[in-house]
Amino acid sequence: MDLMTKQLLMKLEQWIEQDKIVRFYQSKEWRKIRAVTLRMYGSRCQQCGKKATMVHHKEAVRKRPELALRLSNLEPECKVCHNKEHPEKLAKFHKKIFENEERW
């Protein structure tokens, strides 16, 4: 399953360039694939088995935008495990997005 379209990929590449990647996380395509991912794994964190609230990109969106909406590149994680995956994001990105959106 892959919800990426040429059009969306072009937009996403622009957002990455402009540091507006948050727009990707607001897209209906992301919301959909995110929900599918959580459902597929029964909302269990793939690291520790607790309840997952986030969906992680194994290949980062910035590095491989073409994989951003591909089911096989996604896995659910709880907040704790997800923070461990992204130590750099805590400092680098807006804290607000990380804590409220829970979509990384």
Residue 37 has phi, psi (to 5 degrees) of -60, -50
The sign of the torsion formed by the CA atoms of 63, 3, 38, 49 equals negative
User: Please, which of residues 69-98 interact with Zn ion by CB under 5 A?
Assistant: 78, 81
CB 28, min distance to Zn ion, A: 20
Q: Output 18 or 87, the one with its CB closest to Zn ion.
A: 87
Burial class (CB within 10 angstroms; exposed 0-12, middle 13-18, buried 19+) of 8: middle
Q: Which of 10, 35, 40, 48 binds Zn ion (CB under 5 A)?
A: 48
Provide the binding-site residues for Zn ion, judged by CB under 5 A: 45, 47-48, 50, 56, 78, 81, 104
